[in-house]
Structure 1
Amino acid sequence: MSEADERPPRRRQARGERRVTQLLQAAARVFCTAGYTASSTNAIAREAGVSPGTLYQFFPNKEAIAVELSGQLLQKMEEAHGRVFTPENARLPLDELIDAVTDPFIEFNTANPVFLALIKGPDTPGKVAEDHDVLHQSLVDSVTALLAVRRPSMSLAERTLVAQMSFTMFKAGLDLAVQQQADGREPYVRELKSMLYRYLAPLVGTEAIPAAPRGGAGAEGREAEAPDAVRAR
């Protein structure tokens, strides 16, 4: 097949990808404004400036749009996940650790408020809810691994409990912060971080944690092993 023969399909594919992006961006705005339950494919098509028939060329229903949109957002979230849950961040002073871990997620959710909007409705698509549950557990596991670096003497059950409590507090505060206008968000973010700091300080300390020598025994040895657990999440 000649290069000229290949060009039309590629152009059609590029146009299709742009149309999908256009529809997903419109859906994000509609879901944020009306909520998933009250949204409709007609409203999404109208927001995108296309006919409902054009929308149905790419998505059979509202659920398929939500699943695709959520999948793309989850992929971006997982990329951020890998950048923040590191042994280096775990050993920072507590205030810097909280900044390093929470700032990327706060930035992501304020830039993509539809991420939280999609999981609030009573009829959130099952696939979206399932993927969110998997992400939630993965994040809790990663926080648990961070705690192993800072306090290797804590039992797994203790670390898991603290991780669950910390993450639940973060989600509640994040939801409030995302709802605020940009010029009024900072006090909520500041209070969220302060709440986490006050909770965690007596449990994991506030100072930086020096890197433990590799191959150590006892608690130091367990701390040396913990970064691999963090990296594996």
Structure 2
Amino acid sequence: MNAHRKSETTPLDALRKPAQTRAQQTASRILDAAAALLEETGFEDLSTNAICRHAGVTPPALYRYWPNKHAVLAALAERLLGKQNERMAQWAFNEFNAGDLEESYRLLLTGQLEVTLEQPGGLWITRALRASPTTASILDKSSAELVPLLISMGLPGASTDPDAPLGTQVRLGIEMGYAALELALNAQPAERTRIIKESAFLLVTQHRTIMSASNKS
């Protein structure tokens, strides 16, 4: 009797995970197709029908996850920012060196540039981050999530509230980093090294200003 019951329940349990995996694979394929099309056509000419053709799925399959192309773009933004934040965490724990700030920030910006270029449609997704309230909100949320990490690196024990004065200063530095990244992405490859170097210098200046003000308070 017990063996019979096990044979009835095990297949049901086993079917749930493959179904979830298939759904995740379909969603990922749709996003990959949308990102590839962004590189080819830009956002204005992007359509859900074109995404479906490129992904090899039907429109109802896409609408199961996202109601329109703006929602697809928002999902692409979340995916890209997640990759960038993972790279920043790696930098914070493994590459940041307080004894050589300029080189540290150069490594940070270089890493963010590499991550963005590795993502299909990375340039267009970056350009679109402030193009709509939805993607702008995603960017702001991503920025706020980085504040505790960056504050704890240089000022352990300080308030990590992103809306406090220190948090606002750190978020300004994050915004400077995003601006530097977008400038480098839009530049010719030969110009990117210079842009990153000059941007790293500005970030170091802001870093030292924050540290000096915190030490005086």
Q: How does 1:176-215 map to 2 (within 5 A)?
A: 176-179=183-186, 185=189, 187-196=190-199, 199=202
Q: Number of paired residues? A: 198
Q: How does 1:10-21 map to 2 (within 5 A)?
A: 10-21=17-28
> Structure 1 pair 157/51, CA: closer, same or farther in 2 (3 Å)?
closer
More divergent stretch after superposition (83-92 vs 139-148): 139-148
| Residue in structure 2 matched with residue 69 of structure 1 by the alignment | 76
Distance 1:129 1:103 in 2: 23
Distance 1:85 1:66 in 2: 28
Distance 1:79 1:142 in 2: 11
Higher relative contact order (CA 8 A, sep 6+): 1
Is 1:105 matched up with 2:112?
yes
More divergent stretch after superposition (2-11 vs 120-129): 120-129
Secondary structure of 2:127's partner? Answer: coil
Distance apart, 1:21 and its partner CA = 0.9
After TM superposition, the score normalised by the length of structure 2 is 0.67
Distance apart, 1:46 and its partner CA = 1.4
| Residue in structure 1 matched with residue 58 of structure 2 by the alignment | 51
Distance 2:72 2:171 in 1: 33
Code of the aligned partner of 1:10 = K
After TM superposition, the score normalised by the length of structure 1 is 0.63
| Residue in structure 2 matched with residue 214 of structure 1 by the alignment | none
Code of the aligned partner of 2:199 = L
Distance apart, 1:177 and its partner CA = 3.5
Code of the aligned partner of 2:69 = K
| Residue in structure 1 matched with residue 44 of structure 2 by the alignment | 37
Distance 2:130 2:205 in 1: 40
More divergent stretch after superposition (109-118 vs 97-106): 109-118
| Residue in structure 2 matched with residue 212 of structure 1 by the alignment | none
Distance apart, 1:174 and its partner CA = 2.7
Code of the aligned partner of 1:191 = R
Distance 1:123 1:204 in 2: 25
Distance apart, 1:84 and its partner CA = 2.4
Distance apart, 1:70 and its partner CA = 2.1
The alignment's C-alpha RMSD in Å is: 4.1
| Residue in structure 2 matched with residue 114 of structure 1 by the alignment | 121
> Structure 1 pair 163/143, CA: closer, same or farther in 2 (3 Å)?
farther
> Structure 1 pair 24/108, CA: closer, same or farther in 2 (3 Å)?
same
Segments of structure 1 that go 5 or more residues without pairing to the other structure are 150-155, 206-218, 224-233
User: Is the CA contact (8 Å cut-off) linking 2:129 and 2:139 kept in structure 1?
Assistant: no
Segments of structure 2 that go 5 or more residues without pairing to the other structure are 1-7, 157-163
> Structure 1 pair 24/162, CA: closer, same or farther in 2 (3 Å)?
closer
More divergent stretch after superposition (190-199 vs 20-29): 190-199
> Structure 1 pair 88/72, CA: closer, same or farther in 2 (3 Å)?
closer
Distance apart, 1:173 and its partner CA = 4.4
Code of the aligned partner of 2:114 = E
> Structure 1 pair 127/145, CA: closer, same or farther in 2 (3 Å)?
same
Distance 1:202 1:9 in 2: 53
User: Is the CA contact (8 Å cut-off) linking 2:173 and 2:206 kept in structure 1?
Assistant: no
Distance apart, 1:38 and its partner CA = 2.8
